[in-house]
Structures are given as C-alpha cells and as structure tokens.
Structure 1
Amino acid sequence: MFILLDETYRGKGYGTQCVKELLRIAAEDYALSGVHGGCAKENIVSARAMEKGGMVQYGTEENGDPLFRFPE
C-alpha cells in the first residue's frame, strides 16, 4: 500500500482513514485473508497511520524498515 497526501491534508487523520478503508475493502470486497505493508524506518507518521488503522508490526526488513500486517 502506498499513501501520499498533499501537505495541506497531512496531520488531520486522513492517512489513518485511508488505511482503515483499504483494509475494509480488502476484507469485504476482495475477501483477502491478509494485507502487508511497510514504510521507511524514518517515516514515523506512516507507521503510526498503519498502527492506528488496525495493522500490527510483525518484524523488520534487513535495513530496519518496519513491516506491518492485518489481521494480527
């Protein structure tokens, strides 16, 4: 998953809403059994959006970037 918001819309919870809606669509419309995501370790905002959106961190890439999944 990749979410990019214009600076005007950052910090307003839209990223978290996007994650929640993508997870809902994946489960309800496509019957996916899981979704995986990741971000650069420096991108704390994206990591928080994934966690607040319902994903959990389950590991890290070799370079230290966090890996997330849904469901747990």
Structure 2
Amino acid sequence: MEVTKEIITPLISDNQRQNILNYTFAIEELRTGKIIGILGFKLGSKNYNNAEVYYKLNVDYWGKGFGTEALNLFLDFGFKNLKLHRITAGCAIDNIGSIKVLEKVGMKREGHARQSLPLKSGWSDNFEYAILETDERKSKQLKS
C-alpha cells in the first residue's frame, strides 16, 4: 500500500500543477482484494481525442495474465467511456513481458525511439505502440 501511495501521490500533484487530466487506477486481485499494480491514462489534447496508457504490476504477478486482463478492460474504458480515438503506449525494447501484453490486446508497434527512457540502468530505447478505436482487439473480452 505504501509503494502504491508513493507512485500515485506525484501523479496527482502533476495533474494539479499542469491541469492535465489523468486517470490512475489500482489493479486489484479480485480473489484476495490485494492491490497488485496501477494503470492509467494521460489524456492528450481534446482535438486529437487520444491518450497514453501506462501500467506497473507487482513482479509476483508477472506472466499470469493480470496485466493483459487489466489493460484490456482499461482500453474498453478508454474507447467506450472516454470516447477516445487512439491510445498509445511505450515500453523498453528489452521488456518482453510488456511487449507481449501490448500485442495481446491488439496494440500495434509503430515506432522505435532511441534512448528515450531513463531507467535505473541508463537510457533505453523504447518501442511505441498504438491502437485505434476501429482496430480489432485480440484479447478475449470478459463476460459481464
């Protein structure tokens, strides 16, 4: 819970300072009620009707489908509720897990930005992904 607060507090402060509308949600394991990560949107200009999605998942939950499920639901929220046209995401080129998650939900790799991510290990190249409201979604939708 403390780690989640440390991550979310600066995001809220940034929203207030810059007047940028962001959405940040907790990823909760339904069986236990435990917070296992976060995901959010940083909305772009209203003229472009787009957003960038970001997420972080506790390492203990990697490779178990939680990221894919959460991102897929969040894309539904973006397209259906926020009426977005385009949603983008980025990930380090060595982050195979995130690459798989982004591609499982139907996002398409559109670019490769050189040394654009400041990581603890140094600058990393970044793959840029996007999905449009009209694109086919690959992940199975959850039943309501």
Normalising by structure 2, we get a TM-score of 0.47
**How many percent identity over aligned positions?**
28
More helix by share: 1
Q: Structure 1 residue 7: deviation in Å? A: 2.3
CA-based RMSD? 1.3
Give distance in 1, aligned partners of 2:97 and 2:60: 15
- Across the two proteins, how many residue pairs are aligned to each other? 72
Secondary structure (helix, strand or coil) at the match of 1:20 reads helix
> Map of 1:32-43 to 2, 5 A cutoff?
32-43=84-95
Specify every segment of 5 or more residues in structure 1 that has no aligned partner in the other structure, as ranges. none
2:67 is the alignment partner of 1:15 = yes
Give 1:53's aligned residue.
Answer: 105
Give per-residue Cα distances to partners, 1:6-65, cap 9 Å, x unaligned: 222111011111221111111000000010100111111101101101211011113331
Aligned to 2:57: 5
Separation in 2, partners of 1:66, 1:28: 26
Partner of 2:35: none
**1:12 alignment partner, SS class:** coil
* Distance in 1 of aligned mates of 2:109 and 2:54: 16
Provide structure 2 residue ranges, at least 5 long, that are not aligned to the other structure. 1-52, 116-124, 136-144
Query: What SS does the corresponding residue of 1:2 show, helix, strand or coil?
Result: strand
Q: Any conservation in 2 of the 1:59–1:67 contact (CA below 8 Å)?
A: yes
